[in-house]
Structure 1
């Protein structure tokens, strides 16, 4: 019995060491408290200024870029709200300079949101960001209608 207890204790300690060595990467962001952003004549990178969490300091509110600190599988999700009527709601998710996700809808009469999520394999230094295309807009206020989340599932 004592031998099994000692083996279990050693396994727990090894798991603690392995967990301590894993990078801590997660962020959750709100866009702004300012209301309507856009529409613009050209596409813009959305810069989420309301940092709720930013474990590992992987998201830059200044640039709007998430930068992968390690090679791994990452999960990203977002929701954007547009409160205009008779408007397309569009947002793109980019991995480096490549558009990998395009989410949109059209609403004739009311405010609606667009949401999506995906898992990406990233290399250390890769960037992920959201782009608001020309003629689109998003809305956010203190209720955080427009947000962006991401985290490392596991290193590769």
Structure 2
């Protein structure tokens, strides 16, 4: 009987320790920034071509946790230093044209997405992981002479989220 009582006491002590660890993990998780966005471009159809490059401004909000993407400027701004994942998909409704969309980190072009559509509109997707500092910006640029297309079917969109803080 004494042995069972001792085992019960030991088990209760381990249970309390584990309960404290769970509560600590919950506190740590609650302190982590919640950063994710997903935006569609427009319901208006074709955007471009323009005589100069433009920053694409995605206006259809699917999610914007942390309010990290600004649809008025087209800029994602990193709220914390960390590793971030970005992806985008575009379509151009025209044929026999080039479509060039670039992803910028601050003022540096870090990802190019080129396509030449010959027979029908083609969808192009691209993605990457970037290490960002707090305050860094990421955005998409539509190259001069290129266009993209979007409507209520959400063909053209831009996504990003924090993988983990550093």
Q: TM-score range by the shorter chain?
A: over 0.9
The reply to whether residue 145 of structure 1 matches residue 134 of structure 2 is no
The one of 102, 106, 119 equivalent to 2:112 is 102
Name the one with the larger helix percent.
2
User: Aligned-residue CA RMSD in angstroms?
Assistant: 0.6
Gaps of at least 5 residues in structure 1 are: none
Q: What is the count of residue pairs matched by the alignment? A: 156
1:13-56 Cα offsets, whole Å, 9 max, x none, are: 00000001101100000000000000111000000000110000
SS at match of 2:30: helix
1:88-134 Cα offsets, whole Å, 9 max, x none, are: 12100000000000011111110001110000000000000000000
Aligned to 1:111: 121
Following the alignment from structure 2 to structure 1, what is the Cα–Cα distance between the partners of residues 49 and 15? 64
Q: Give the 5 Å matches for 1:1-156.
A: 1-156=11-166
Q: Return the TM-score normalized by structure 1.
A: 0.98
Return structure 1 stretches of 4+ with deviation > 4 angstroms: none
Following the alignment from structure 1 to structure 2, what is the Cα–Cα distance between the partners of residues 149 and 81? 15
Following the alignment from structure 1 to structure 2, what is the Cα–Cα distance between the partners of residues 90 and 64? 17
